[in-house]
C-alpha cells in the first residue's frame, strides 16, 4: 500500500467478521474499510495504528427501533441524549420511530421538521421511519421518495392520540399502497379484540398486567400479517415479538416464500415475568415481558434463524409517568446504552458467540433497513466499530447512563461486556462511554 497519512489500522486478536472471529488488522481510509488483513500485517507508512489487544472489534451496532421523541416530547428523550447513549453502548446507527414526537412522521413536512431538529445533535448516524395512520395513504409514497426506511403502524392503540391504529381495512389499504412501490411495513402486532376482552385491572401486580396482554393477541395479529403479506406479495416486518407461540407460524410462512421478517428485544431475552417485582413499572412494555419458558423459545427462534434481529425498542419517558400502577404507567423499556452487554451476558450463558450477537444486533438490522454500508467488518463497508471487553463485568448504575431519564429495568444488574470505545467512519466517537466527537449524519433509504 502507498503511504497515506489519513490511513488508520485497527488491530485486535478478536475481530468479528462475516467469516468468523479471528486475529486481524483492519485498514481504513476515507471513512471506509479498505481491507481485513492478517493480524501481523505490516502497517503502511504514515498510517496510525490502534491496537486493542484482546478486546473484541465488532462492527458498530445498528438499532432500527428507537423512540427519540424529539421534537415535542423531548423531556422524555431527545436526539442529543439518545445518540450519546447509543454511541456509549456501541450503537453507531439508529432509526427513529415515527411516533411519540410532535409532530409524528406521517407527512414529508413532518419528516423535515424532525430532520431539522436532529441534524446538529446526532452523535451517530440517524435515519427515520415513516408512519402509516388512518387517512395518510396518499402520504406514503412521498415519504418513501423522501428517504424514510419504511412505515410503522399499530393494530391496537399506540398510547398517543396523534398516532392512531389501523383497522383491518385500513391496514390492507396501506399495505397495498406500500407494496406498489416496494416499501416495507413494520407492525406493532397485537390484536385489539383480544386486548379488549382481557381483564384490565388497576394496581401494582405484574401478573395482572401480563394477563391484560395475552399471547393470543400477538399470535392472531401475526396471522393476519402473514395472510396479507402472502396475498399482496408485500414486505412486512413484525416488531418486538414477545410471544414465542407465533414462531412456528412465522417459520412456515417464510418456507412458503412469504416476505416476512421479525425482531425481538433485549428485555424479552434477558428479563422474565417471574422476576418482575410488583409495582416495578420500569419493567412495563407492550407487548409484555413473558415467562421464562417463553424466553427459552425466543432464544431457540434466534438460534434457528426464525428471528432476524435484536433491537432495543428504546421507549423512555419521564420518571413521573412510571407510576406504581401497571395499568396506567407508561409502557416502555429504556435500554439503548445497555442492549449489547445485556444480550451478550445471556447469550454467553446459553453458549452463543459474539459472532451470533453481531449477526443479530448489527448485520440483521442493517439488512432489514437496506443499509448496505453498515453491519459488517468487510472491505467497502463504513468504518463503524464497537470495541468490547467481553469478559469484563460492570454493575448498571442509572446515574452513569446518557439517557435523558435514567429509569431502567437493568438497574443493579451485573452484566458482561464493557464497551471501551465506538468509532464512526474511522473516527473515535466515545472513550469508555464518554463522548469525544459528534460526527453523526442523517441518513436516508438507498434509492437502489
Please write the tens of the pLDDT for every residue from 210-262.
999 999 999 999 999 999 999 999 999 999 999 999 999 999 999 999 999 99
Per the omega criterion (within 30 degrees of 0), is the bond before 254 cis? no
Average pLDDT over residues 123-134: 98
Please write the tens of the pLDDT for every residue from 43-77.
988 899 999 999 999 999 999 999 999 999 999 99
Predicted local confidence at residue 447, as pLDDT: 61
Predicted local confidence at residue 439, as pLDDT: 83
Average pLDDT over residues 312-320: 96
Partner residues linked to 234 by β-bridges: none
Per the omega criterion (within 30 degrees of 0), is the bond before 103 cis? yes
Average pLDDT over residues 84-104: 98
Predicted local confidence at residue 1, as pLDDT: 37
Q: Which residues contact 41 (CB under 8 A, 6 or more apart)?
A: 25
CA-to-CA dists, residue 77 to 66, 82, 129, 415, angstroms: 10, 6, 17, 24
Average pLDDT over residues 280-286: 97
Eight-class DSSP state of 442: B
The answer to whether 174 and 141 are in contact (CB under 8 A) is no
Average pLDDT over residues 374-380: 98
The C-alpha cell at 192 is 385489539
Average pLDDT over residues 371-393: 98
Predicted local confidence at residue 4, as pLDDT: 44
CA dist., res. 382 & res. 163, Å (int) = 34
Please state, for a pLDDT cut of 70, what percent of the chain lies above it.
Answer: 98
The answer to whether 220 and 197 are in contact (CB under 8 A) is no
Render 367-433 in DSSP notation, one character per residue.
HHHT-TTSSS-STTSB--EEEEEEEEEEE--GGG--SSS---TTTT-EEEEEEEEEEETTEEEEETT
Average pLDDT over residues 71-91: 97
Phi, psi of 142 (to 5 degrees): -60, -40
pLDDT at 317 over 80: yes
The C-alpha cell at 78 is 431527545
- Read off the pLDDT band of 6 (50, 70, 90): low
CA dist., res. 66 & res. 334, Å (int) = 10
Amino acid at each position: 500500500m502507498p503511504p497515506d497519512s489519513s490511513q488508520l489500522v485497527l488491530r485486535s486478536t478478536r475481530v468479528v467478521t462475516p467469516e468468523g472471529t479471528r486475529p486481524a488488522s483492519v485498514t481504513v481510509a476515507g471513512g471506509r474499510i479498505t481491507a481485513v488483513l492478517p493480524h501481523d500485517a505490516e502497517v503502511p507508512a504514515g498510517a496510525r495504528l490502534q491496537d486493542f489487544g484482546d478486546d473484541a472489534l465488532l462492527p458498530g451496532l445498528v438499532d432500527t427501533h428507537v423512540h427519540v421523541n424529539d421534537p415535542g416530547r423531548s423531556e422524555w428523550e431527545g436526539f442529543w441524549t439518545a445518540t450519546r447513549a447509543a454511541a456509549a453502548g456501541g450503537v453507531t446507527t439508529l432509526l427513529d420511530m415515527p411516533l411519540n414526537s410532535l409532530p409524528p412522521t406521517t407527512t414529508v413536512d413532518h419528516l423535515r421538521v424532525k430532520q431539522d431538529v436532529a441534524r446538529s445533535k446526532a452523535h451517530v448516524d440517524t435515519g427515520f421511519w415513516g408512519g402509516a395512520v388512518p387517512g395518510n395513504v396518499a402520504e406514503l409514497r412521498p415519504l418513501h421518495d423522501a428517504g424514510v426506511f419504511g412505515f410503522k403502524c399499530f393494530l391496537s392503540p399506540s398510547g398517543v392520540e396523534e398516532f392512531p391504529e389501523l383497522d383491518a381495512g385500513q391496514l390492507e389499504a396501506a399495505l397495498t399502497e406500500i407494496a406498489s412501490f416496494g416499501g416495507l411495513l413494520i407492525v406493532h402486532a397485537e390484536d385489539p379484540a383480544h386486548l379488549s376482552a382481557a381483564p384490565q385491572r388497576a394496581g401494582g401486580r405484574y401478573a395482572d398486567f401480563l394477563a391484560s396482554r395475552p399471547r393470543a393477541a400477538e399470535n392472531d395479529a401475526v396471522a393476519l400479517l402473514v395472510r396479507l403479506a402472502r396475498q399482496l406479495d408485500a414486505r412486512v416486518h413484525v416488531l418486538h415479538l414477545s410471544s414465542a407461540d407465533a414462531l412456528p407460524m412465522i417459520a412456515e410462512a417464510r418456507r412458503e416464500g412469504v416476505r416476512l421478517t421479525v425482531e425481538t428485544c433485549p428485555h424479552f431475552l434477558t428479563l422474565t415475568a417471574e422476576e418482575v417485582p410488583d409495582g416495578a413499572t420500569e419493567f412495563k412494555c407492550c407487548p409484555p415481558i413473558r415467562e421464562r419458558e417463553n424466553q427459552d423459545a425466543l432464544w431457540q427462534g434466534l438460534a434457528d434463524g426464525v428471528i432476524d434481529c435484536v433491537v432495543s425498542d428504546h421507549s423512555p419517558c419521564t420518571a413521573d409517568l412510571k407510576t406504581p400502577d401497571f395499568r396506567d404507567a407508561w409502557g416502555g423499556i429504556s435500554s439503548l446504552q445497555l442492549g449489547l452487554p445485556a444480550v451478550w451476558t445471556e447469550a454467553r450463558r446459553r453458549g452463543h458467540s459474539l459472532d451470533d450477537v453481531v449477526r443479530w444486533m448489527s448485520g440483521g438490522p442493517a439488512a432489514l433497513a437496506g443499509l448496505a454500508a453498515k453491519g459488517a467488518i468487510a472491505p467497502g463497508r463504513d468504518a463503524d466499530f464497537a470495541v468490547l471487553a467481553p469478559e469484563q463485568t460492570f454493575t448498571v448504575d442509572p446515574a452513569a447512563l446518557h439517557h435523558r431519564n435514567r429509569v431502567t429495568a437493568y438497574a443493579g444488574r451485573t452484566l458482561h461486556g464493557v464497551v471501551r470505545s465506538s468509532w464512526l467512519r474511522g473516527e473515535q466517537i466515545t472513550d469508555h462511554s464518554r463522548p469525544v466527537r459528534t460526527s453523526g449524519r442523517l441518513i436516508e433509504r438507498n434509492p437502489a
